[in-house]
Chains A and B, each alone.
Chain A
Amino acid sequence: HLQLQESGPGLVKPSETLSLTCTISGGSISISSYYWGWIRQPPGKGLEWIASIYYIGYTHYNSSLTSRVTISVDTSENQFSLKLNSVTAADTAVYYCARHGDHGDFGKIDYWGRGTLVTVSS
């Protein structure tokens, strides 16, 4: 049974870099036809896709965040990571890692992590 688990600091200071890692268990990150992505949800608000990566390194970014975001993959550790720089209070959110499909199923998210709350505050 595939499981995803987010890890990283729960508190980040304004202007600093938010760094999160997603560890996959019960399956391999090096699987064809699936992307691995990050989605966030500010408190009381809706879902926002941030970025996604394929195990061989293909990446896609939300155009509204692309200047501040880097997504990377470490197949040896079965992990992928997110870096979001120059954070502000508006970046406070629950951050989810997830698996989604490719091509016509690019929007289909079939596995989610439990989410981790990241607060941006001094």
Chain B
Amino acid sequence: SSELTQDPAVSVALGQTVRITCQGDSLRSYYVSWYQQKPGQAPLLVIYDKNNRPSGIPDRFSGSSSGNTASLTITGAQAEDEADYYCNSRDSSPNVIFGGGTKVTVL
């Protein structure tokens, strides 16, 4: 399967920890990346190759992956972390594939 599945929405209290998951068979073979998208903006790469952060991304963002499941964890969520988060990877064709996105609400 070339699909990636994410929970549609999750909420987290300010300062607490939230984990967003992404499932798909492609994740057994290929790296996952995570993107943050705020309203009216282009997506921003926050995690790549399972658990690497681009320059400028706070270290409260971390990633992990095992088998067909990848996770993005925000430790100590801030108000500015409220956004949509997308996982993505590739399949064997290759195609670029995306999860459906998870809306994170910071309470």
**Which residues on A are within 8 Å of B, measured CB to CB?**
37, 39, 46-49, 52, 60, 62-63, 96, 100, 104-110, 112-115
CA distance A110 to B67 in the complex (A): 24
CA distance A112 to B54 in the complex (A): 14
Which residue on A lies nearest to B86, using beta carbons?
A47
A60–B42 CB distance below 8 A: no
Known: A47-B43, A113-B42. A108 touches B98 (CB 8 A): no
CB distance from B59 to the nearest CB of A (A): 19
A105–B95 CB distance below 8 A: no
B101–A107 CB distance below 8 A: no
Contact partners of A47 in chain B: CB under 8 A: 35, 43, 86, 88, 98, 101
Which are the 4 A-B pairs with shortest beta-carbon distances?
A: A49-B96, A107-B90, A106-B90, A112-B42
6 contacts between A and B (CB under 8 A): A46-B100, A47-B43, A96-B43, A106-B94, A107-B90, A112-B43
CA distance A107 to B99 in the complex (A): 12
B93 at the binding interface (Cβ < 8 Å): yes
A107–B54 CB distance below 8 A: no
Q: Which residues, 38 to 90 on B, are CB-close (under 8 Å) to A?
A: 41-45, 48-49, 54, 86, 88-90
Known: A47-B86, A63-B93. A108 touches B42 (CB 8 A): no
CA distance A91 to B8 in the complex (A): 23
CA distance A98 to B63 in the complex (A): 22
